[in-house]
């Protein structure tokens, strides 16, 4: 029997990468290719009062414009189906795409964008999650009455995950440790900026060269926009110049595809680094309030966590991320009483999306610093506190999932060994197989 699994092997398609011959989306060129630039919202919140392309169409090299009216299917995409490909009306964040200009080169397209006479009535935006939750806050999503995501038809805005009785656990605890954790917005900063190339192929199909991380999900989102069945789209991908979650979001494929359909030509739409950094989805901000009850012997008996996630102006991935974060926010520990209260809040920012370690990372950072603070409070070694509480096979997590194949203790033992830290025998004798 062959045994390749377990052996170090270099990257399968790596020779193309080291010789510069690997083809990334921006490396794809077609004769007569047109280029797209997008007119973006200059304000964080506002209403479009006028949109006049008469000067744009006079710019040399401009081939035409693309507006919401040009969309053959629906002007909707996103995991939660709440984003507009091109937003003709109620602008929710700075940089939101309003319309696109297609030109023979990028300079012409950009000059065309700058020639658009855009009249926007600016409205007061809200950027602070806690301000956004107040009753008199500006409303991010027109047509709604609150900036909190509703998790069900009953209008539940705080997603609860509970195990045991957290109040009783906190009452029983010898010590209470509290902490607030504020975590910033992070960009993926993949070295390959967002880009797409689209064209009509010889069979009349729409071919798209994509760097999507999730071809199947994105194809399902794109078909309704183009009004085309899956058999009419050749969605070519597989090679990505760095994703880290940033290419789970569609930024270019929809607009490039629409332009190819309208102008029946190969089209490239790529973001500059500036556009990519300033206007695309990010790992959103999180604020956590932790309250942990612990006994003198180090056993954690209660964990009450309040979670606030800044979703930006659309859902992005946020309602999902807030829940997933919550499921794991009490850390890899056996805690009998847990209450997670999670809120997803809209603000006038680009939507928050997945990023490496998505959502779980944010909760783990808070949970783990909290553990070190508990150890300090108890005067206990931070290793010992984690050894005592770490999951063993058969333990239960916050949303009542049973864990198996656990290896927290084993990871700690190896790390301590590598660091030259001598752990006491009573810790070394512990195993994830039993308590």
Q: Taking a C-beta distance cutoff of 8 angstroms, is the pair 298, 378 a contact?
A: yes
**By CB under 8 A, is residue 76 in contact with another protein?**
no
Candidates 311, 207, 208, 285; CA nearest to 251 is 208
Candidates 219, 217, 224; CA nearest to 74 is 224
Least CB distance to another protein at residue 264 (A):
20
Q: Are strands 233-236 and 206-209 parallel, antiparallel or unpaired?
A: parallel
Residues 199-228 that bind another protein (CB under 8 A): 205, 207, 211-217
Task: Print the binding letters for residues 88-117 with another protein: x by CB under 8 A, - otherwise.
Answer: ------x------------x----------
**By CB under 8 A, is residue 285 in contact with another protein?**
yes
Q: Which of 63, 116, 300, 371 binds another protein (CB under 8 A)?
A: 371
Task: Print the binding letters for residues 373-412 with another protein: x by CB under 8 A, - otherwise.
Answer: x--x-----xx--x---x------xxxxx-xxxxxx-xxx
Residue closer to another protein (CB basis): 74 or 369: 369
**By CB under 8 A, is residue 435 in contact with another protein?**
no
Task: Print the binding letters for residues 287-316 with another protein: x by CB under 8 A, - otherwise.
Answer: -----------------------x------
Residue closer to another protein (CB basis): 51 or 78: 78
Least CB distance to another protein at residue 26 (A):
6
**By CB under 8 A, is residue 73 in contact with another protein?**
no
Residue 368 vs residues 28, 139, 179, 274, 358: alpha-carbon distances, Å: 45, 35, 11, 34, 16
Residue closer to another protein (CB basis): 122 or 128: 128
Concatenated DSSP letters for 241-310?
Answer: S--TTGGGS-SSHHHHHHHHHHHTS-EEEE--HHHHHHHS-BB--EEEEEEEEE-TTS-EEEEEEEEEEE
User: Based on the number of CB atoms within 10 Å of its own CB, is 326 exposed (0-12), middle (13-18) or buried (19 or more)?
Assistant: buried
Residue closer to another protein (CB basis): 71 or 208: 208
Which run of H or E residues covers position 178? strand 175-183
**By CB under 8 A, is residue 22 in contact with another protein?**
yes
Q: Which of 39, 367, 374, 388 binds another protein (CB under 8 A)?
A: 367
Q: Which of 248, 292, 303, 344 binds another protein (CB under 8 A)?
A: 248
Judged by CB under 8 A, which stretch of 63-71, 141-149, 253-261, 275-283 contacts another protein?
275-283
For the record, the structure tokens of 414 come out as 């190896």
Q: Taking a C-beta distance cutoff of 8 angstroms, is the pair 24, 268 a contact?
A: no
Q: Taking a C-beta distance cutoff of 8 angstroms, is the pair 418, 411 a contact?
A: no
Task: Print the binding letters for residues 330-359 with another protein: x by CB under 8 A, - otherwise.
Answer: -xx-------x------xxx----xxxxx-
Q: What are phi and psi of 235, to 5 degrees?
A: -95, 100
Q: Which of 92, 254, 282, 291 binds another protein (CB under 8 A)?
A: 282
């Amino acid at each position: 029997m062959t045994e390749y699994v377990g052996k170090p092997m270099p990257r399968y398609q790596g020779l193309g990468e080291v010789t510069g011959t690997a083809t990334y989306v921006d490396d794809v060129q077609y004769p007569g290719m047109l280029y797209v630039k997008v007119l973006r919202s200059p304000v964080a919140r506002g209403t479009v009062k006028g949109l006049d392309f008469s000067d744009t169409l006079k710019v040399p090299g401009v081939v035409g414009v693309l507006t919401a009216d040009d969309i053959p299917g629906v002007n909707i995409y996103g995991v939660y189906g709440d984003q507009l490909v091109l937003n003709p009306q109620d602008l929710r964040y700075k940089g939101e795409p309003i319309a696109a200009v297609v030109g023979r080169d990028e300079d012409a397209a950009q000059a065309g964008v700058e020639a658009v006479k855009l009249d926007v009535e600016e409205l007061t935006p809200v950027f602070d999650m806690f301000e956004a939750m107040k009753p008199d806050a500006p409303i991010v999503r027109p047509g709604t009455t609150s900036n909190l995501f509703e998790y069900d038809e009953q209008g539940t805005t705080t997603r609860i995950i509970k195990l045991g009785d957290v109040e009783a656990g906190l009452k029983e605890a010898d010590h209470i440790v509290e902490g607030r954790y504020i975590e910033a917005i992070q960009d993926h900063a993949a070295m390959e900026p967002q880009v797409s190339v689209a064209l009509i192929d010889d069979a009349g199909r729409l071919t798209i060269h994509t760097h999507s991380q999730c071809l199947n999900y994105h194809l399902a989102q794109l078909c309704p926009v183009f009004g085309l069945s899956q058999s009419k789209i050749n969605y070519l991908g597989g090679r990505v110049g760095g994703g880290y979650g940033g290419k789970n979001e569609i930024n270019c494929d929809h607009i490039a595809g629409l332009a190819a359909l309208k102008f029946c030509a190969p089209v490239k739409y790529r973001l500059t680094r500036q556009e990519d950094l300033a206007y695309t989805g990010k790992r959103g901000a999180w604020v956590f309030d932790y309250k942990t009850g612990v006994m003198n012997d180090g056993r954690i008996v209660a964990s009450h966590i309040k979670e606030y996630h800044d979703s930006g102006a659309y859902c992005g991935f946020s309602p999902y991320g807030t829940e997933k974060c919550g499921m794991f926010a009490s850390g890899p520990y056996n805690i009998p009483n847990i209450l997670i209260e999670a809120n997803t809040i809209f603000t006038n920012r680009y939507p928050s999306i997945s990023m490496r370690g998505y959502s779980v990372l944010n909760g783990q950072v808070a949970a783990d610093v909290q553990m070190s603070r508990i150890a300090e409070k108890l005067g206990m070694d931070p290793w010992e506190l984690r050894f005592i509480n770490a999951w063993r096979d058969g333990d239960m997590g916050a949303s009542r999932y049973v864990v198996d194949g656990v290896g927290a203790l084993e990871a700690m033992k190896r790390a301590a060994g590598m660091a030259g830290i001598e752990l006491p025998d009573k810790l070394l004798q512990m195993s994830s197989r039993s308590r």
